[in-house]
Amino acid sequence: MGDWRDHDLSRRHRIASTGTPGLMLTLRQRGAAGPPVLFVHGATFSGRLFDIPHPGLNWLQVAADAGFAAYAIDIRGYGLSKPDAFPEGRAYAQGHEAIADIGDAVDWIAARHGGARVALVGWSWGTLTTSRYALGAGAGKIRALALYAPIYAEVNAEWVAVMADPADKTRHRDFAPYRHVTLDDTRARWDAQLPQGADWRDEAVLQAMVAASIDDDGGASDHFRVPNGTFLDLWECFNGRPIHDPGAITCPTLLIRGAQDPTSTRTDTLALFDRLGATDRTYVEIAGGTHFINAEARAPALLDAVNAFLRRTAQP
Q: Is 197 exposed, middle or buried (0-12, 13-18, 19+ CB in 10 A)?
A: exposed
- pLDDT confidence of 58, banded at 50, 70, 90? very high
Q: What tens digit of pLDDT does each residue of 241-265 get?
A: 999 999 999 999 999 999 999 999 9
| pLDDT (average), residues 198-226 | 94
Per DSSP, 141 falls in state T
Mean of pLDDT values over 88-97: 94
Distance of CA 259 to the CA centre of its chain: 18
Mean pLDDT, residues 139-161 taken together: 97
As for how many domains the chain has, the answer is: 1
Q: pTM surpassing 0.95?
A: yes
Is the pLDDT at 89 greater than 90, yes or no? no
Residues 158-180 have a mean pLDDT of 94
Flag whether pLDDT at 1 surpasses 90: no
Per DSSP, 244 falls in state S
Q: Which domain holds residue 52?
A: 4-313
Q: 131 pLDDT exceeds 80?
A: yes
**What is residue 2's predicted lDDT score, i.e. its pLDDT?**
63
pLDDT at position 76: 98
Residue length, the chain?
316
What span, in angstroms and rounded, lies between the C-alpha atoms of 227 and 94? 8
Which CATH number covers residue 302?
3.40.50.1820
- pLDDT tens-digit profile of 8-46? 999 999 999 999 999 999 999 999 889 999 999 999 999
